[in-house]
Amino acid sequence: MGLLLNILKSLIYGIVQGITEWLPISSTGHLIMMRTFMPLNVYADAAMNDAFWNMYKVVIQFGSILAVILLYFYRLNPFNSKLRQKQKTRIWRLWIMILIASIPTAVIGLLLDDWVDAKMNTPVVIAVMLIVYGILFILVENLNRPVKIKHTGQITVDKALLTGLFQSLALIPGTSRSGATILGETLIGFDRPAAAEFSFFLAIPTMFGASLLKLIKMKTALNVSAVLVLLAGLLSAFIVSIVVIRKLIAYLRTHDFKIFGVYRILLGAVILIFALLKVL
């Protein structure tokens, strides 16, 4: 019964991960709330359970990454023999922009990741960042900003580097990787669908690298139950991510980001109240 309950919980966690990873609303903020009210108790020992949780948060992200790879495989695969040379060149150029944009996060992450985890991974910090970026989303959408980049093929080296710098702000918990990236992209002239798509593409090396780094640092013994719980979360995150990515791109063709800003402010306020009440 305990295993089935944990698998069910894991499926729900994966659903939330699949939604919040791509919408600019912070997966961390949602997971910390969920763990408080719906904890995964895979091990009887509290220390082992905490170690498993740290691994679990990383592993289910792979489901989200796989969804991007599946959805955009044709657009991101330069080895497709059916493509003309011009199309392959465009894809290689896009990958160069993706890798350039990944450099700031990789460098800053290697230098500060452990410090950020130790000092800033708190409910109050998460709540404050949710609220701050929520306000920023609303303010940016009210600006009369010129749109210079309408598709990812127009991204230049300087825009890629700036995007990477904005993405590196997401090292602060509660910021949201997609939130920081999309907000920065809209400020420097991306239209909304292009900003979201490039954010998706950046997730492949960024999330994969960050997840791999965390997994290397972890030493968690897994039993059969733990593996099944991990697989349930990964699978549900993968399936839900496919749906959310498609829906978000369609939504952004006719809507702005204000609704996400409002949601972030409300969620941040709730987390801050719980933190002050010592519930979190």
Query: What pLDDT digit, counting tens, does each position of 178-200 carry?
Result: 999 999 999 999 999 999 999 99
pLDDT at 212 over 80: no
Euclidean distance between CA atoms 25 and 20, whole angstroms:
6
Q: Residue 93: which of 83, 107, 72, 78 has the closest Cα?
A: 78
Per cent of the chain over pLDDT 90 is: 71
pLDDT at 93 over 90: yes
Instruction: State residue 248 phi and psi, 5-degree precision.
Output: -65, -45
* CA distances, 182 to each of 33, 108, 144 (Å): 24, 19, 17
pLDDT at 118 over 90: no
β-bridge mates for residue 22, sequence order: none
pLDDT of residue 231: 94
pLDDT of residue 208: 81
Euclidean distance between CA atoms 33 and 11, whole angstroms:
16
Average pLDDT, the chain: 91
pLDDT of residue 200: 95
pLDDT of residue 103: 95
Query: What pLDDT digit, counting tens, does each position of 156-167 carry?
Result: 999 999 999 999
State the residue for tokens 């909304």.
192
Q: Residue 145: which of 199, 176, 184, 201 has the closest Cα?
A: 184
Its pTM surpasses 0.95 = no
pLDDT of residue 121: 86
> pLDDT-derived band of residue 1, with 50, 70 and 90 as boundaries?
low
Q: Region 74-98: what's the mean pLDDT?
A: 95
If one counts every other C-beta atom within 10 angstroms of the C-beta of residue 180, the result is 26
pLDDT at 218 over 70: no
State the residue for tokens 């791509």.
22
> pLDDT-derived band of residue 101, with 50, 70 and 90 as boundaries?
very high
pLDDT of residue 206: 83
